[in-house]
Amino acid sequence: MQPSLNYPYPDQARDDILRMIPEDGRVIGSIGCGSGATEWELIKTGRQVHGVDVEANAIELAARRLTSARVVAGDELQPFAPDSLDGLILADVIEHLPRAWDRLARFTLCVKPGGWVAISVPNMRNLKVLWTFMVRGDWPEEPIGIFDATHLQVLSVSRLERWCRLAGLRPERWFDKYLSAATPRSRWLRAADALSGRIFHEWFQMQLQVLARRV
């Protein structure tokens, strides 16, 4: 069930996000939860998940799935109380925000010291961007994906690492994300990455995904 015909993101759980969630942490927040399909899987394991999103139609469905869900303004700096969460999910959210490095620091304050933040962002330093922008000279405006027209930030490993450090986060584990595991192109990217000794590893990644801890 799609939460809205105008809502561009699919109403389905993301396994790539779920694999990032550690065993610890009972009370979890999710900023940009959408319809809550991914977070719903955590609810089923007995965790509390509180979601927020700017899209009212998506939140209408999320509210039926999660512990709580509410609409927030796009410029809300701290959607959860300080030190109130064991963990926080930021699944492809911060690339849409102005001064996202400052917003990440404010979001981190919602997590207890020692708690975790799962971050997923598009990797702008990859082969698709290299071909589309550097070779073809174009930067298309697409509804979803790496060229999502609503993206405001250009992310790389170095930039995300710096943002984490400034926010008081220590990266604990990075996750590979090529394309959907079922696609031939994804298998080709994995093979090419391995054969090259992972020297150009970042160029093969479509997403940057890291689990970090609040220091």
Residue 176: CB partners within 8 Å, gap ≥ 6?
Answer: 190, 205, 209
Answer yes or no: pTM beyond 0.75: yes
Task: State mean pLDDT over 132-151.
Answer: 94
SS3 107: helix
Neighbours of 34 (CB within 10 A): 28
Homologous superfamily (CATH) for 15-123+151-179+204-214: Vaccinia Virus protein VP39 (3.40.50.150)
Of 127, 134, 147, 131, give the one whose Cα is nearest residue 189: 127
pLDDT, one tens digit per residue, over 146-203 is 999 999 999 999 999 999 999 999 999 999 998 766 678 788 888 888 988 999 899 9
Are 92 and 120 spatial neighbours (Cβ–Cβ below 8 Å)? yes
For the chain, the average pLDDT equals: 93
Task: State mean pLDDT over 77-105.
Answer: 97
pLDDT value for 181: 62
Query: Among all chains, which residue has been given the structure tokens 């940057």?
Result: 208
Q: Per-residue pLDDT for 11 more than 50?
A: yes
Q: Per-residue pLDDT for 204 more than 60?
A: yes
Domain boundaries, the chain: 15-123+151-179+204-214
Q: How far apart are CA 169 and CA 172, in angstroms?
A: 9
